């Protein structure tokens, strides 16, 4: 990881970068000749020079989706510079002049005041944030997207890495050919609306969807580590943390009454920041049905009751989590062998293969019985010893592992070329 970070920084070393310090009274640009030599304290001193009246202990920058990331140490500064280096390269590749690196100083007094306002106006803030996101989504249309490379091809469509010129964002765009009526297209678009509301660090961020002729394009956040299906056997300390993120992602979806319906390693994405996110969940019944009409096949990760055509529920998602993690732990699909992580897996299988005990329907309402069944499954997942062990929010473990694997893959590709 260190070599990976160094390489990124070395690429930057050849040229100066411009850091724009955003202050309440205006912007202040400073040129840094040798970014790899920059350390956190130097930058903090520069910020304090610009804002002598403030008490600044950290600063933030914005990632590709506009989330603010805090920098409080040399490591976090390196991550910011390496992220900026990638963004700069993307902008150059698309014929654009790189933007300065914008940083937002965090003034402790200002933060406590803001916190009071946020608490007071929290409901108002949420709706305006939602509105902002919807407006931003509306701006994505076909002519503003530059397709770069094909990331993969699945049963239903093809996924491309692309660049959205207006927002200067790297996207993953899934293009699915669908021969359907305009009415069905409208139905799909309205069913996809729930994606605008999805807001979880464990779910891929949705930006927009649009039809061009008989193809739907679904624009989401790009994950630079790709999907888990291409990684070989994942060590338990990494897999444990991935499992925590996957379970949190699913629990979030279930709380919105969305079943994933397609849990498998290729729908679990990672990035070099150590984030793990779920994608391709079935929010649009019409879209799922339309794809299924074109492409027929059995999914190896499907729960038995789903294959036999019974009703699909949370337990079917849980079953697929079990099969997926077994494959990721063993490095092959599915091979019975004892591993520590299989205590977690066997629990999952247990939940899934047997009917969970339910309250007698006659004595309670159907909704209440359903609610208790869901709670039992979710609690079990969360409270499992294996998951609580890895529920430490340590994204660095996953980040280091993703960076190392990507580095190895690049080296292998380079060797292959020679
Ligand atoms: P299926 O069509 O059966 O769901 P799949 O998940 O492999 O199979 P796609 O969903 O079309 O197929 O995805 C193809 C590949 O594109 C994935 O395996 C993944 O490597 C890549 N991919 C998808 N979404 C993203 C993303 N947001 N960021 C980066 N890579 C992605
Ligand atoms: Mg997929």
Q: Looking at the CA of 154, which ligand is closest?
A: 1
Residues in the ligand 1 pocket, defined by CB under 6 Å: 151-157, 159, 172, 174, 204, 220-223, 226-227, 229, 262, 266-267, 269, 279-280
Question: Best mutation site among 147, 152, 171, 223 for ligand 1, i.e. most ligand atoms within 8 A of its Cβ?
Answer: 152
Atom 4 of ligand 1: nearest residue by CA position? 154
- DSSP label of 355: P
Q: Give residue 109 CA to ligand 1 midpoint distance, Å.
A: 45
The reported pLDDT for the residue numbered 249 is: 94
Burial 187-215 (b: 16+ CB within 10 A, else e): bbbebbeebeebebebbbbbbbbebeeee
Q: Give residue 131 CA to ligand 1 midpoint distance, Å.
A: 29
Atom 31 of ligand 1: nearest residue by CA position? 226
Q: Give residue 154 CA to ligand 1 midpoint distance, Å.
A: 6
The reported pLDDT for the residue numbered 42 is: 85
Say which CATH topology domain 1-106 has: Ubiquitin-like (UB roll) (3.10.20)
The reported pLDDT for the residue numbered 220 is: 94
Residue with structure tokens 């139905």?
187
Look at residue 80 and give its three-state secondary structure.
helix
Contact predicate 205/221, CB 8 Å: yes
Question: Best mutation site among 150, 153, 155, 159 for ligand 1, i.e. most ligand atoms within 8 A of its Cβ?
Answer: 159
Give the number of the atom of ligand 1 that is nearest the alpha carbon of residue 174. 11
The reported pLDDT for the residue numbered 139 is: 55
Q: Give residue 266 CA to ligand 1 midpoint distance, Å.
A: 6
Q: What residue spans in the chain does CATH classification 3.30.200.20 cover?
A: 113-221
Instruction: Indicate whether this model's pTM tops 0.85.
Output: no
The reported pLDDT for the residue numbered 152 is: 95
Q: Give residue 119 CA to ligand 2 midpoint distance, Å.
A: 38
Active-site annotation holder among 67, 179, 262, 355 = 262
Question: Best mutation site among 209, 219, 226 for ligand 1, i.e. most ligand atoms within 8 A of its Cβ?
Answer: 226
Can you tell me the distance from the alpha carbon of 203 to that of 248, in angstroms, rounded to the nearest whole number? 9
Atom 26 of ligand 1: nearest residue by CA position? 222
The reported pLDDT for the residue numbered 404 is: 93
Q: What residue spans in the chain does CATH classification 3.10.20.90 cover?
A: 1-106
Can you tell me the distance from the alpha carbon of 136 to that of 274, in angstroms, rounded to the nearest whole number? 26
Architecture of domain 113-221: 2-Layer Sandwich (3.30)
Atom 5 of ligand 1: nearest residue by CA position? 154
Neighbours of ion ligand 2 (CB under 5 A): 266-267, 280
Active-site annotation holds for 262: yes
Host H or E run for residue 155: none
Give the number of the atom of ligand 1 that is nearest the alpha carbon of residue 227. 20
174 annotated as ligand-binding: yes
Q: What residue spans in the chain does CATH classification 1.10.510.10 cover?
A: 226-415
Burial 280-317 (b: 16+ CB within 10 A, else e): bbbbbebbbebbeeeeeeeeebbbebbeeeeeebbbbb
Atom 23 of ligand 1: nearest residue by CA position? 159
The reported pLDDT for the residue numbered 224 is: 94
Per-residue pLDDT in tens (0 to 9) along the chain, 418 residues: 444 444 444 455 557 788 999 988 888 888 888 888 888 988 888 888 888 877 788 899 998 777 888 898 888 898 899 889 888 888 888 878 888 999 999 875 543 333 332 333 333 333 445 434 443 445 577 888 999 999 999 888 999 999 988 888 899 999 999 888 888 888 888 888 888 888 899 999 998 898 888 899 999 999 999 999 999 788 888 998 998 899 899 999 988 888 898 899 999 999 999 999 999 988 888 888 788 776 555 567 776 666 666 677 888 888 788 788 878 887 876 544 444 454 555 555 555 555 544 556 666 556 655 655 555 555 566 666 666 778 888 999 999 999 999 999 989 888 876 4
Give the number of the atom of ligand 1 that is nearest the alpha carbon of residue 158. 11
Q: List all residues 6 or more positions away from 37 whose beta carbon is below 8 Å from its beta carbon.
A: none
The reported pLDDT for the residue numbered 93 is: 82
**Domain covering 226-415 in this structure, CATH number:** 1.10.510.10
User: Quick one: residue 257, left, alpha or beta (phi over 0 = left, psi -120 to 50 = alpha)?
Assistant: left
Q: Give residue 157 CA to ligand 2 midpoint distance, Å.
A: 9
Atom 8 of ligand 1: nearest residue by CA position? 154
């Amino acid at each position: 990881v260190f070599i990976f970070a160094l390489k990124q920084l070395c690429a930057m070393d050849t040229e100066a970068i411009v850091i724009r310090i955003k202050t309440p009274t205006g912007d202040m640009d400073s040129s840094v000749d040798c970014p790899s030599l920059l350390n956190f304290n130097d930058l903090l001193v520069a910020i304090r020079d610009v804002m002598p009246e403030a008490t600044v202990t950290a600063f933030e920058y914005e990632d590709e989706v506009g989330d603010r990331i805090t920098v409080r140490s040399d490591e976090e500064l390196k991550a910011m510079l390496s992220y900026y280096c990638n963004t700069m390269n993307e902008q150059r590749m698309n014929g654009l002049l790189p933007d300065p690196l914008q940083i937002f100083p965090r003034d402790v007094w200002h933060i406590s005041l803001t916190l009071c306002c946020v608490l007071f106006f929290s409901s108002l803030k949420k709706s305006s944030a939602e509105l902002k996101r919807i407006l931003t989504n509306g701006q994505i249309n076909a002519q503003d997207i530059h397709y770069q490379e094909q990331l993969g091809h699945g049963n239903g469509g093809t996924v491309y890495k692309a660049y959205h010129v207006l927002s200067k964002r790297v996207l993953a765009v899934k293009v699915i050919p669908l021969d359907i009526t305009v009415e069905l297209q409208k139905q799909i678009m309205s069913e996809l609306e729930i994606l605008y509301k999805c807001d979880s660090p464990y779910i891929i961020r949705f930006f927009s969807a649009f039809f061009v002729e008989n193809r739907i394009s679904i624009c989401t956040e790009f994950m630079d580590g790709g999907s888990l299906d291409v990684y070989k056997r994942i060590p338990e300390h990494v897999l444990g943390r991935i499992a925590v993120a996957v379970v949190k992602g699913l629990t979030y979806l279930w709380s919105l009454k969305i079943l994933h319906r397609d849990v498998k390693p290729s729908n679990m994405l990672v990035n070099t920041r150590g984030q793990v996110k779920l994608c391709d969940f079935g929010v649009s019944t019409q879209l799922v049905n339309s794809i299924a009409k074109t492409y027929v096949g059995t999914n190896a990760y499907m729960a038995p009751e789903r294959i036999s055509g019974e009703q699909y529920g949370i337990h079917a998602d849980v079953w697929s989590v079990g099969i997926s993690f077994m494959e990721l732990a063993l490095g092959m699909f599915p091979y019975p062998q004892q591993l520590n992580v299989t205590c977690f897996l066997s629990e999952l299988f247990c939940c899934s293969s047997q009917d969970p005990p339910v309250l007698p329907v006659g004595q309670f309402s159907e909704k209440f019985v359903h609610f208790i069944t869901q709670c039992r499954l979710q609690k079990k997942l969360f409270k499992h010893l294996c998951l609580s062990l890895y529920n430490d929010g340590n994204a660095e473990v996953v980040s280091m592992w993703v960076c190392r694997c990507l580095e190895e893959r690049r080296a292998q590709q380079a060797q292959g070329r020679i």
